[in-house]
Every structure is written in C-alpha cells, then in structure tokens.
Structure 1
Amino acid sequence: MAETTRASDPGTGTATPDAHTAPLSEFDRDTAVRRRARGEFETVIADGWSVFGAVNGGYLKAMVGRAVAETLPHPHPATVTAHYLTAPRPGPAVIRVETVREGRTLSTATASLTQTDPDGTEVERLRVLATHTDLTAGPDEVRTTAEMPDIPAYEDCVGMDLAPPEFLRDAPIVHRLAGRLDPDCVGWAVGVPSGRAGTRGWFAFADGRPVDPLALLMVGDALPPSVFDLGLSGWVPTIELTTHVRALPAPGPLRVALTTRNLAGGLLEEDGEVWDSAGRLVAQSRQLARAPRG
C-alpha cells in the first residue's frame, strides 16, 4: 500500500490532510488506513510494533480505531473493546467497519481486521465494538476518588531502551517508544521480582508525537506485563482489551499504572490507569490475557 499523505490531528485522533506534507510520525504511518469501499479499508500491519514476533495488541486496536474514527460522525473513542481471535502477522490486512447507531452525542460501530492466509483463506484476527463521542463537548465537572500513582520523575525512571541487546533485537516496539519504568518495578529484569504484580512508568512516543485519543487505545498495552513482577516471563497474549477514554490528554509524557490481582486457571486480568501531565485520569483499561508459561 502506498504511504498516505495524511497526518494525525491530535484533537480528533483521525487523519487529516496536511498542506505542508510534514513527515508522518511512526505511529501515524504504521496505523494508516486507506478507504477502498464504503465501510472497508486496507492497511498494512508493520513489523516494528512487535515483541518476540507477536504484534502488540494495543497497536492493532489503534489501527482499527483509526478506521472506525474515519467512519463514525463523532471523532473520539469513548469505549473500545477488542477481542483477539487469531495471531496476526506483519503484512496487508483489511478492516471492515459497520455503523450500528448514530446518535446526538454517541455513535457506535463494530469492526473486524482480517488477513488472507497463503492458501487464500481470509482469517479474522480481531473484532472490535466501539462507541465514539466528542470529548470537547462534555461537561467540565470531575468527581473522582482515584489517586494519581506515585511514580518518580520521568528522568529518574529507567528507560526501556536500556534492556539487554538481545531483548531489544526481538522487541522492536521499544524503539518506537520513549517509555520509562519506575525503578521499584524492574527487579524482575535482574531476577529479583517484587511479587506485587504491578508495572508503573511513563509513556511517550520516541519521535515526540503527542498522545491523542487514538493513541490512548494502545497505551494500556504498551508497558511490560504486570505479572513479570511475580517472577513470570514469556509471552502474555491478550484475549480481550477494553479502553475507556475519559479526556483529551495534556501535552507531555503520561503516567501509567498496571496491576493484576487475580491469576487463576491460566488467565489473568490487568487493570490500567493513564494520567496526563495535568494530573487528570485520561484513560482506563482492562484486559484478560493468558498467563505466560515461562
């Protein structure tokens, strides 16, 4: 697929024409979609958002989210749930979006991402149910008992790019991000896990792209799994991932806190909170995943 000449609008999370043809960020380039029919888009899954050969689920969700945002009349995702059905691979894919309802303040759609196997069989990789809104149109009142996680300053946290070379070679997504981890949460990397099943740190794009509502769809799946802090290691495949987008993020890196309270029957949940530089809870996530076997 030829690279589109559309750039991300941080205010909407959708693609908009760029009169100055500024270079696209890696995220916008690698989640770009091209409409080929009503409700149908073609795209290419990039290989730079993977860990040990597995394409990151949050990246895929954002890619489908872009197609949904270009279909519905409301610009911002409010709640998006993705079910991961089969393992995707880098390469061409098709996204089909079906509008379910268009209302005054909310609109809803379903979407699926498929790929064609070498034998010509079309296989569905993930299915999404999304409700969109306009985050600039809601009331300003905020009442919350949630407390912003206590994370050391960005510069005092550990860069994920300091991981061993063999890990960086097999986890190219790390090069796309300027993520940093709370030093209190990285004992597992040196064989001394804390046993608390939590990951805290900062999220930012390596190329400086601002985080908008579309990018928030991947933030809760972009740090190391919280169960690594239990001493477990290996692939943690996502079964289902839901994200609630609560506000437009203020500029700057985002604080992210992930926790797991129950690992049983080979499955675990991971709850995420995402806070912006203004101290607002801008997104919440929950996923169900398979426990690693390592």
Structure 2
Amino acid sequence: MTQGTQAAQATAQSATQAATQAATQSTARAAVGDSEFDRDTVVVRRADGVYDTELSAGWTIINAVNGGYLLAVIGRALADALPHPDPFTISAHYLTASKPGPAVIRTDTVRAGRTLSTGQASLFQYEEDGTEVERIRVIASYGDLDALPDDVRTSAEPPTIPPVDQCFGPQDAPDDAPVQGSTAIAERLWLKLDPATLGWALGAPSGKGEMRAWFGLADGRDADPLSLLLTVDALPPTAFELGLSGWVPTVELTVHVRCRPAPGPLRVAIATRNLAGGFLEEDAEVWDSAGRLVAQSRQLARTVLAR
C-alpha cells in the first residue's frame, strides 16, 4: 500500500468518524424494526403470497411516491414470502404512478434453491371507479447475506466527500430559496450533499450529472438491506446538475445488495453519463461506515425537456 493510498484512507476514515458523530448528535436514534421507515413499509399478509399495505404520504416528492420507498415496501413482502431473508438483486418496472393510500402486493415464488430463492411481485392500487391498476412489477433473488464469504477483490473506491460540516442539506437552504425537490421525503432523511454537486440549487448547475452525499434516516435508524433499496433512489436527481428541473420519474430500477451495512452514516454517489431522447441512466453506489461497497444500482428515468 502506497503512502498516498494510506493517507487517502486515513482522510476517508476521519471524515466518516466525523459524519458518524454529527449524525448521532443530530437525533435520538431509532432502532431497526421500530422506526418511521419500518412503520411505513409494514405489509400485512392477507393470504399466501398476498399482502396489504398503506403507502405513506411521508415519502413523496413533488406529490409522487418515491420509487426507492416503493421498492422497499415490495421488498419487505418478498422477504416474508420467500425462504431467504435478504434481497441480493431486485429489478422493478414502474408502470403507473403510485399514490399515497391502500395498496395490495401479490407475490409468487418462482424458484426456491439452497442459497438463492427467486420471486416476483406486483403492487396494485384501485382507481376511484374501483378499477384495479398495476403500479409496479418486480422480479428478485433473495439469499442470506450473513452466509457470504468474506473474500473481497475490488478496484472500486469510496467517493470522496467533504466533511459533514462542509456539506449542505435541504434544511440549510434559505427560506426564500428552498432546495428544489425538498418535499415530504426530505423531512425523513438525514442528507448532507457535497457542495460540488449543488450548483443546481444556486442556479449554476455544473453539467456533470453527479450527486454525492452523506446519507441516513432522520430518526437515526441504521441502514439494513431493506433500507438500501430506498437509499439508492433518495438523492436529488442528477438531472438537476444537467440543468433540468421538475419530476424525473423512474422507468426501471435494478438494485444489487452486496453486504449487510455497518452501523453509521452512508456515502452515496450517483452519476449520469448519457441523456438522450428524454431518458437518462443513473448509476448509484452506496458505501457504509466501514468503507465497504454495500449496494449498487442502475435506473432508467424519464426527463421533461424544455421545448
């Protein structure tokens, strides 16, 4: 290991320790299983493979229910329906816009193996006339993260993000210039954005299509595999740094959960390299307080282009 690498790791560790301290001091910590996120992702088994849930208005952005939150709700149902506890890979197609209120999740076990089980699920809601509408369709493979070997061989490196006291969240915006997109979901997140990715909030987007942030839940709940499904889709859209504004609805989202995250704040980096025809991709990486890559995702999203 070179001296430069050692210095970089020491700097990253120091920044993570400072972020952990800041996050701990900012709120009383809720426990996994007894937090707002857990209450708002509850599913109730009605019959084998069928679950009732109530989509909370607390996880909306510009009046639409956040796609990562929706994936976590469906992910909880699949965790109950399948013989393995943890999502390894989960892919969702968002068919119609979900809204706060009652929903039904129907699951089906495709295959149950020794190390992996695969299932599919759909979330439905009802229109005012009683018509049932499918909102999301998912296919996923689940396993046991605690049973994975410790061997890691990687060239991936955690994103470099300034210390928390040099980063900014929605609560730091002046009253007369609110952070774009700071709707209900922002109140449920502990989010500190890298100033280098905040040009959009100041009217001067960088054009680079990047977002980086320290991340946690506002009530202090530590991350687990289920909450990582929310994390990958919880930052402001990279489209903002490309100079676009408004809602950026997800068309498809695939998440890979790589290991169980250590307690403490997460580092999230999202990047877009190509916007064409009104669609863009977003690649996300989530790193835990131990410096491990715990989740990756790619999504295709639609943008509204000025004419």
2:98 maps to 1:88: yes
Counterpart of 1:203 (choices 215, 237, 245) is 215
Structure-2 separation of matches of 1:292 and 1:212? 33
Which residue number in structure 2 is paired with residue 239 of structure 1?
251
CA displacement, residues 205-262 of structure 1 (integer Å, 9 cap, x when unaligned): 0001111000001111000011211111110000000000000001111000000000
Percent identical pairs in the alignment equals 62
CA displacement at 1:83 relative to structure 2: 0.4
Residue 67 in structure 1 maps to residue 74 in structure 2: no
Aligned-pair distance for 1:162? 2.3
- Residues 113-167 of structure 1: CA distance to partner in whole angstroms, max 9, x if unpaired? 0001110100000011010010010111000011111111223211222235555
Which residue, 41, 44, 50 being the options, matches 2:54? 44
Matched, 1:171 2:183: yes
Higher helix proportion: 2
Distance, in Å, in 2 between the alignment partners of 1:228 and 1:168 is 9
Structure 2 residue 86 is the aligned partner of structure 1 residue 76: yes
The answer to whether 1:293 aligns with 2:302 is no
- SS of 1:119's equivalent in the other structure is coil
1:283 pairs with one of 272, 286, 295: 295
Q: Determine if contact 1:262/1:268 at 8 Å carries over to the other structure.
A: yes
CA distance in 2, matches of 1:164, 1:243: 34
C-alpha separation between the residues in 1 aligned to 2:174 and 2:92?
Answer: 32
Q: CA deviation at 1:169?
A: 9.2
Q: Aligned in 2, Cα 1:251/1:155: closer, same or farther, shift over 3 Å?
A: farther
Query: Is the contact between residue 135 and residue 248 of structure 1 (CA under 8 Å) also seen in structure 2?
Result: yes
**1:220 matched to 2:223:** no
**Which of 95, 107, 115 is the matching residue for 2:125?**
115
Q: CA deviation at 1:278?
A: 0.5
Q: CA deviation at 1:202?
A: 1.3
Residue 21 of structure 1 aligns with which residue? none
Partner of 1:3: none
Cα 1:182–1:66, aligned 2, differ >3 Å: closer, same or farther? same
Q: Deviations over 1:73-97 (max 9, x none)?
A: 1111000001000011110000011
Residue of structure 2 aligned with 1:254, choices 262, 266, 288? 266
What is residue 137 of structure 1 aligned with on the other side? 147
In structure 2, runs of 5+ residues without a counterpart are: 1-29
Is it true that 1:33 corresponds to 2:43 in the alignment? Answer: yes
The letter of the residue matching 2:305 is R
Matched, 1:273 2:288: no
Residues 220 and 284 in structure 1, CA contact (< 8 A), matched pair in contact too: yes
Paired residues of 1:53 and 1:170 also in contact (CA < 8 A) = no
Partner SS for 2:147:
coil
Counterpart secondary structure, 1:235: coil
Pick closer, same or farther for the CA change 1:94–1:164 going to 2, 3 Å.
farther
Give 2:260's aligned amino acid.
Answer: L
The aligned counterpart of 1:18 is none
Normalised by the length of structure 1, the TM-score is: 0.90
Could you tell me how far apart the structure 2 residues matched to 1:120 and 1:167 are? 37
Question: 4+ runs of 1 displaced by more than 2 Å?
Answer: 160-170
8 Å CA contact 2:120, 2:138 repeated in 1: yes
SS of the aligned residue for 1:42 comes to: strand
**CA root-mean-square deviation:** 1.6
Q: TM-score, normalised by structure 2?
A: 0.86
